[in-house]
């Protein structure tokens, strides 16, 4: 993780569990600083960790999960940081 500030909810977030179980899909959104190839390039362990790097260990203030958790609002475990849901995640 290095010197990045980690989201306060990371330790209890289902995304951490999905990441550790290697279930996360590649990032679906595009960021200005990343090319399309970068977003879809698999990481060596088979899991693209861009979700974690871009949100949980990065700018988590943009994370829909973070915002909803902070406001005490319900959100499903399979909701991604961009607000979409991934039906494959259980």
CA distance 30 to 33: 9
- Comparing 19 with 72, the larger pLDDT belongs to 72
Give the global pTM: 0.69
- Residues 69-82: pLDDT tens digits? 999 999 999 998 98
Is residue 48 within 8 Å of 41, Cβ to Cβ?
A: yes
Q: Three-state secondary structure along 11-58?
A: HHCHHHHHHHCCCCCCCCCCCCCCCHHHHHCCCCCCCCCHHHHHHHCC
| Predicted pLDDT of residue 7 | 93
Tokens of 68: 């909803």
Tokens of 6: 């980690």
């Amino acid at each position: 993780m290095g010197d990045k500030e980690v989201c306060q909810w990371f330790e209890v977030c289902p995304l951490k569990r999905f990441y550790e179980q290697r279930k996360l899909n590649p990032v679906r959104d595009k960021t200005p600083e990343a090319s399309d190839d970068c977003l879809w390039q698999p990481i060596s362990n088979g899991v693209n960790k861009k979700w974690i790097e871009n949100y949980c260990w990065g700018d988590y203030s943009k994370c829909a999960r973070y915002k909803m958790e902070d406001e005490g609002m319900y959100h499903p475990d399979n909701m991604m940081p961009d607000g979409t849901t991934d039906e494959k995640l259980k």
